[in-house]
Structure 1
Amino acid sequence: MKFLFIVQGEGRGHMTQAIALSQKLESWGHTVSAVCIGKSARRQIPAFVHQNIAAPIYLYDSPNFVTDEKQKSILLWKTFTYNLGQINKYQKSLRIIDEQVNKYQPDVILNFYDILGGLYKLLYKHTGEFWTIGHQYLIEHPEFPFAPNQTLAKWLFKLNTNLTAIGASKKLALSFRNFTSSSNKNLYILPPLLRREVKDLQPKNDDFFLCYMVNPGYGQDVINFATANPNIEIVAFWDHKSMPDGYKPVPNLIFHQVNDRLFLEKMASCKGLVSTAGFESICEAMYMGKPVMMVPVAGQYEQACNAMDAEISGAGIQSTDFDFRKLIEYIDQKATEALDSKTWFDQFDSLFLKIIAENDKPPLNSSSVRRVKKSKAFGILSS
């Protein structure tokens, strides 16, 4: 089967998932023909993505969050109004995606949680399969834990998730733990999608903590903590384009730019991870048996849910700040108790291959992909 990926470029999680799945599909004899990745002015696509994906990569502008001046909290209203003003730019992005779909004629378009992937399915006609993959699709399972007391944020999170999955015949929900089967026939519960590099590492415990922040504004919080606690060694990773790699504001703290190989090496040897509550980093830590303290990005409801779900799954604890002493206390309390996630995590390949077997069929011919008529919403011209 031929696949085309559409990937959200926010953070590193969806991109590392795309790397992992592209490697697996190629090893199983399938083809990833092209990878379309959404970009924004806030984020740069890390070099490791280009280095680890063999297929051609196409970049396009995609909706993204707007943060406050300190680059910490997500501003929901400004996010909505800003992206609404970028309609013409996103119209061009949909055409870029369509060009690749027509060029490569995939049997399956697999969307890694980009809203333009769902809109593409709505506005263009592709007679092949359209699937989605991500932790977010667990919201359709009755056991998923929603963060409380945030009615509007919850509604927006569900809306965004539904938009990414418009017309999806399969929703592949990645999960920290094995949920019971769902009555939703289009929902498939899968283990986290980890790269082979993660599974090849041999964990150990050196005397430092690893820190990852999706928004660089949290860097000052970590600097303040390290300054006040010089006996605690911290290795941090951030996406701060204006700062040099290896920035060392105090002797016990060093900041690296996002570097996937180095990050995994540090993950394997750290005492524990302190991170904003992105799904992928938590999963990597769980697989290596590293306890995690999760600090959800303010205003990002999805991360609040991630932190709850991960805590229920035994990954670690939640926090509202970067006080590493909380994680130290948690580790001391847990003592020799170890989290065994490998049994569930290692089932991904067999479960995904079953899904492929349900849909394996001869490649579609060139007539299977065509443009729809003019869309009133975006003014997309038919061919």
Structure 2
Amino acid sequence: MKFLFIVQGEGRGHMTQAIAFSKMLEKQGHEIAGLILGKSKRRAVPEFLSREISAPIHLVESPNFACDKNEKQIMIGKTIRHNLAKSATFWRSIQEIHQVVKAEQPDIILNFYDLLGGIYNAVFRPKAQYWVIGHQYLIYHPQFKFAPSKGLDKFFFKFNTRMTAIGASEKLALSFYELESTDQIRVVPPLLREEIKKLTPNSGDFFLTYIVNSGYGVEVISYAQANPHLKIRAYWDKKDAAETEHPLPNLSFHRIHDKNFLRDMAACRGLVSTAGFESICEALYLGKSVMVIPVKGQYEQACNALDTVKSGAGITSGNFDFSKLEALIETQLETGNSMKEWTNTWPQAFQQLISETKMTEPDFILTQSFS
């Protein structure tokens, strides 16, 4: 089968998931015809994506979050206004997607949570089957717990998730732990790259942190300055940042690099991160303790933090207070690695998925996507 990926470019998680899925396709004898990446002016496209994906990569302008002036909090109202003002640009992006689809003639379009993918499927109704994949699709599961919501945060999260999945014949919901699939979703394990499975974890003398919004760097610097006995390595994808910066003797900032990040993940004492699904899963696979700080104003991350605690994966915090994770590590007992066992079932899950796939034109029923 021939796949075409559409990938949201906000953060690193969806891109690393796409890499992992592409490697699985190649092992099973399937083809990835191309990858369409929703780019953002706030972020550079990571070098590792073009290095790891052998297919052509097509960049299109896609909706993304707007932050406050400190590059920390997500501003929902500003995000809506900013993206509505670029409607004409996004329509051109949808037409660009259609040109790629026409040229490549994929059997399956797999969308890694990009809004334009759902709109494209609704407008152009391609002959290819349309699948979506992401942790966000667990909202369709009866056991999913929503975080407390302020204003319309929950509504917009659910609305955006449903828009990405318009007309999808498969909703693949990535989960920290095993759950029964339902009529609406197929629950699958996290998508982790093969590199992480080859690492041998050990406990080093530093904490690792990943910052999705660069404004949180100020908090990390402040904490490191007040606690010089703690060593911290921080990764971010700030567009104009140097490859490596050393603001303090006990703190270094690094541009996001897939292999270096995983190497440090295997060697760190624990992970302190904004509440992105992928980084949490990588830490758990390597047996590392986790503390998550949901990005302010990003309701999805508040749900991720709640799920992290529910699964026993780690703790949540409102700030980058590394001492909380230090205390957890000192009191935590060794347990079995259920994440590793769950993740290693992906080959069987994929084979079952493919075996159940019928290559016929899907029935396009818009109302089903909003049920």
Contact persistence 1:235–1:255 (CA under 8 A)? yes
Distance, in Å, in 2 between the alignment partners of 1:295 and 1:216 is 14
Contact persistence 2:149–2:299 (CA under 8 A)? no
The residue that corresponds to 1:347 in the other structure is 345
Contact persistence 1:314–1:339 (CA under 8 A)? no
Match of 2:250 among 249, 252, 263: 252
Instruction: Name the amino acid aligned to 1:139.
Output: I
Contact persistence 2:44–2:238 (CA under 8 A)? no
Matches within 5 A, 1:57-136: 57-136=57-136
Distance, in Å, in 2 between the alignment partners of 1:305 and 1:214 is 16
How many equivalent residue pairs?
A: 362
What whole-Å deviation, never above 9, does each CA across 1:259-286 have from its counterpart, x for those lacking one? 1110000000001000000000000001
- Offset of residue 333 of structure 1: 1.5
Distance, in Å, in 2 between the alignment partners of 1:239 and 1:191 is 26
Equivalent residue of 1:192, what SS? coil
Distance, in Å, in 1 between the alignment partners of 2:107 and 2:150 is 39
Instruction: Name the amino acid aligned to 1:169.
Output: S
Distance, in Å, in 2 between the alignment partners of 1:27 and 1:98 is 28
- Offset of residue 151 of structure 1: 5.0
The residue that corresponds to 1:191 in the other structure is 189
Contact persistence 1:245–1:256 (CA under 8 A)? yes
- Offset of residue 42 of structure 1: 1.0
The alpha-carbon distance between structure 1 residues 354 and 194, as it changes in their structure 2 partners (threshold 3 A), is: same
The residue that corresponds to 2:207 in the other structure is 209
The residue that corresponds to 1:308 in the other structure is 306
- Offset of residue 313 of structure 1: 1.1
The residue that corresponds to 1:380 in the other structure is none
Q: Mean Cα displacement is larger for which, 327-336 or 156-165?
A: 327-336
RMSD of aligned C-alpha atoms? 1.4
Distance, in Å, in 2 between the alignment partners of 1:346 and 1:339 is 11
Equivalent residue of 1:359, what SS? coil
- Offset of residue 336 of structure 1: 3.4
What whole-Å deviation, never above 9, does each CA across 1:47-96 have from its counterpart, x for those lacking one? 00000000110000000000001100000000001000001100110111
- Offset of residue 340 of structure 1: 3.3
- Offset of residue 181 of structure 1: 3.5
- Offset of residue 242 of structure 1: 2.2
What whole-Å deviation, never above 9, does each CA across 1:205-235 have from its counterpart, x for those lacking one? 1111000000000001000000000000001
Instruction: Name the amino acid aligned to 1:170.
Output: E
Distance, in Å, in 2 between the alignment partners of 1:277 and 1:344 is 20
What whole-Å deviation, never above 9, does each CA across 1:277-336 have from its counterpart, x for those lacking one? 000000000100001000000000000000110111111100000000000011112143
The residue that corresponds to 1:139 in the other structure is 139
The residue that corresponds to 1:357 in the other structure is 355
- Offset of residue 338 of structure 1: 5.3
Distance, in Å, in 2 between the alignment partners of 1:190 and 1:6 is 19
Equivalent residue of 1:341, what SS? helix
Distance, in Å, in 2 between the alignment partners of 1:325 and 1:260 is 27
Instruction: Name the amino acid aligned to 1:227.
Output: Q
Segments of 4+ moved more than 4 angstroms? none
Instruction: Name the amino acid aligned to 2:173.
Output: A
Distance, in Å, in 1 between the alignment partners of 2:286 and 2:358 is 34
- Offset of residue 360 of structure 1: 5.5
The residue that corresponds to 2:272 in the other structure is 274
- Offset of residue 241 of structure 1: 2.1
Unaligned 5+ runs, structure 1? 370-383
Distance, in Å, in 1 between the alignment partners of 2:50 and 2:358 is 28
What whole-Å deviation, never above 9, does each CA across 1:78-137 have from its counterpart, x for those lacking one? 000100000110011011111110001000000000000000001102122100000000
What whole-Å deviation, never above 9, does each CA across 1:8-53 have from its counterpart, x for those lacking one? 0000000000000001101100000010000011111100000000
The residue that corresponds to 1:50 in the other structure is 50
Q: TM-score, normalised by structure 1?
A: 0.92
Distance, in Å, in 2 between the alignment partners of 1:192 and 1:316 is 17
The residue that corresponds to 1:263 in the other structure is 261
Q: Mean Cα displacement is larger for which, 228-237 or 149-158?
A: 149-158
Distance, in Å, in 1 between the alignment partners of 2:57 and 2:41 is 18
Distance, in Å, in 2 between the alignment partners of 1:13 and 1:149 is 24
Distance, in Å, in 2 between the alignment partners of 1:336 and 1:359 is 41
Equivalent residue of 1:111, what SS? strand
The alpha-carbon distance between structure 1 residues 89 and 234, as it changes in their structure 2 partners (threshold 3 A), is: same
Match of 1:284 among 282, 285, 289: 282
Equivalent residue of 2:43, what SS? coil
Distance, in Å, in 2 between the alignment partners of 1:337 and 1:181 is 26
